[in-house]
């Protein structure tokens, strides 16, 4: 699996548009998103194994509810799985939890991005529940992966993004607005 310091791989994938545009139907609901999309922004790219499952919509909906918070931090959210854009669209239309999803759903149906990232489950051949925070230069600054049966915490991803954007030393459980560590101050008290 690619990790901190690695360049996020180049990609160009079909996606279901966010919001109401995403459910207008084939021909109107799709767009292409690449690594060059949204230049100058932080990118949070999260993968789920596949559509029409049980844990996945809980995570996707939770990320979607935080889309505005990520946008406030000059970051874009991209959700992705190995399903096609047509399957994503069908799932959006038929699942109330993600019907009005505020983020695009990328279709890595050829598994090229998942494979380049090294996040395909060896047994099931689907993407792990992997999350990447990528800086505006395209470098991975945080990477995490859960197994297929454990959901992740989008609030924690937001907290880590906040910490990364301080460009300072952030202690355990640090939250936005709290003090960061000042090395000189630590030595003065020793």
| Rounded mean pLDDT, 26-30 | 85
DSSP for 2-13, written as a single string: --TTSBPPP-EE
| Rounded mean pLDDT, 71-92 | 97
| Rounded mean pLDDT, 179-187 | 76
Active-site entry in 15, 16, 44, 56 = 56
Residue 185 has pLDDT above 90, yes or no: no
All structural domains of the chain: 12-188 (3.40.30.10)
Residue 188 has pLDDT above 70, yes or no: no
CA distances from 139 to 15, 51, 55, 134, 184 (A): 22, 28, 29, 5, 29
Task: Let me know if 172 is a catalytic residue.
Answer: no
| Rounded mean pLDDT, 73-88 | 98
The reported pLDDT for the residue numbered 68 is 98
């Amino acid at each position: 699996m690619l990790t901190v310091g690695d360049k996020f791989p180049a990609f160009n994938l079909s996606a279901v548009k966010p919001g109401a545009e995403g459910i207008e139907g084939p021909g109107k609901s799709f767009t292409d998103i690449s690594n060059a999309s949204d230049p100058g922004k932080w990118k949070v790219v999260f993968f789920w194994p596949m559509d029409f499952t049980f844990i996945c919509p809980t995570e996707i909906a939770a990320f979607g509810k935080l889309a505005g918070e990520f946008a406030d931090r000059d970051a874009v959210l991209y959700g992705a799985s190995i399903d096609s854009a047509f399957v994503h669209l069908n799932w959006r239309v038929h699942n109330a939890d993600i019907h009005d999803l505020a983020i695009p759903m990328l279709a890595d149906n050829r598994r090229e991005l998942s494979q380049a990232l090294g996040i395909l489950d060896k047994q099931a051949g689907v993407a792990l529940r992997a999350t990447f925070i990528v800086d505006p230069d395209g470098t991975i600054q945080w990477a995490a992966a859960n197994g297929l049966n454990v959901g992740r915490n989008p609030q924690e991803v937001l907290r880590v993004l906040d910490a990364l954007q301080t460009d300072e030393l952030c202690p355990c459980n640090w939250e936005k607005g709290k003090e960061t560590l000042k090395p000189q101050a630590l030595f003065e008290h020793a």
